[in-house]
């Protein structure tokens, strides 16, 4: 594959989660990226949802760019199957490089690291550091509680509707992924049919 059609940064868990729907979702996201000649940018791990989305992207013909801190490589968490594996000094460098290599961002289910990455890239967008679309894939209602809390924060005037509008939340990858890629101005709708 030459130049990828788009580059999607995916934040997700390094664990598989309790519901098999999460791993199935990660696999479908990776297949979608690869099938549409895209590139996955992610945290470079080989376990959990992270490893699943990377392997599925590669198996479907896509490119995978992993970015991992040296400390995690030393613990043998790195996925050496990546098309490109960048080893960086720390988490700050990891997040910066992932953001630079992405056209859009997507959060799947995950834990504290996923939340932190999502909120940071969202904050960066609000501050004008980038204008790339951000999506939240709410499979099996995983993010229902978070979305409810964010609505509460908005109702209590700690956030505003314009900030909430910077994130597209959906429970359907067939709707959300084409929307993100199109919002980044990278591919016409006809090329982004669902799996």
Domain containing 112 — which CATH number? 3.40.50.450
Whether residue 190 is contained in a domain is answered as no
H-type helices in the chain, by residue range? 20-35, 48-59, 70-74, 91-101, 112-126, 144-155, 161-164, 173-183
Whether residue 194 is contained in a domain is answered as no
Q: Which of left, alpha, beta for 41 (phi over 0: left; psi -120 to 50: alpha)? A: beta
| Residue 28 burial (10 A CB sphere; 0-12, 13-18, 19+) | buried
Whether residue 195 is contained in a domain is answered as no
Return the structure tokens found at 139.
Answer: 């499979």
Radius of gyration of the chain (CA): 16
3-state secondary structure (DSSP) of residue 58 = helix
Q: What separation in angstroms does the CA of 73 have from each of 42, 84, 89, 141?
A: 14, 14, 11, 33
Whether residue 68 is contained in a domain is answered as yes
Question: Structural domain of residue 145, as residue ranges?
Answer: 7-182
C-beta separation of 40 from 54 below 8 A: yes
The number of angstroms, rounded, from the C-alpha of 85 to the middle of its chain's C-alpha atoms is 17
What string of pLDDT tens digits covers the 195 residues of the chain?
A: 578 999 999 999 999 999 999 999 999 999 999 999 999 999 999 999 999 999 999 999 999 999 999 999 878 789 999 999 999 999 999 999 999 999 999 999 999 999 999 999 999 999 999 999 999 999 999 999 999 999 999 999 999 999 999 999 999 999 999 999 999 887 655 455 544
Whether residue 33 is contained in a domain is answered as yes
> Which residues, other chains included, contact 136 with Cβ-Cβ below 8 Å and sequence gap of 6+?
106, 107, 118, 143, 147, 167, 168, 169, 170
Whether residue 168 is contained in a domain is answered as yes
Give me the number of domains the chain comprises.
1
Whether residue 113 is contained in a domain is answered as yes
Whether residue 88 is contained in a domain is answered as yes
């Amino acid at each position: 594959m030459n130049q990828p059609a788009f580059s999607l940064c995916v934040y997700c868990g390094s664990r598989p989660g309790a519901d098999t729907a999460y791993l199935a979702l990660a696999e479908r996201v990776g297949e979608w990226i690869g099938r549409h000649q895209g590139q996955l940018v992610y945290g470079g791990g080989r376990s959990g949802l992270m490893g699943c989305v990377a392997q599925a992207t590669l198996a479907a013909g896509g490119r995978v760019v992993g970015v991992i801190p040296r400390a995690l490589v030393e613990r043998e968490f790195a996925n050496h199957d990546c098309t490109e594996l960048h080893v960086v000094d720390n988490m700050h460098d990891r997040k910066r490089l992932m953001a630079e290599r992405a056209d859009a961002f997507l959060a799947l289910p995950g834990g504290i690291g996923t939340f932190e990455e999502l909120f940071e890239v969202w904050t960066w967008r609000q501050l004008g550091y980038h204008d790339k679309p951000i999506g939240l894939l709410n499979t099996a209602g995983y993010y229902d509680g978070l979305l409810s809390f964010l609505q509460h924060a908005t109702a209590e005037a700690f956030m505003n509707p314009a900030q909430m509008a910077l994130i597209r939340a959906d429970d359907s990858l067939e709707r959300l992924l084409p929307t993100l890629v199109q919002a980044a101005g990278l591919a016409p709708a006809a090329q982004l049919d669902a799996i």
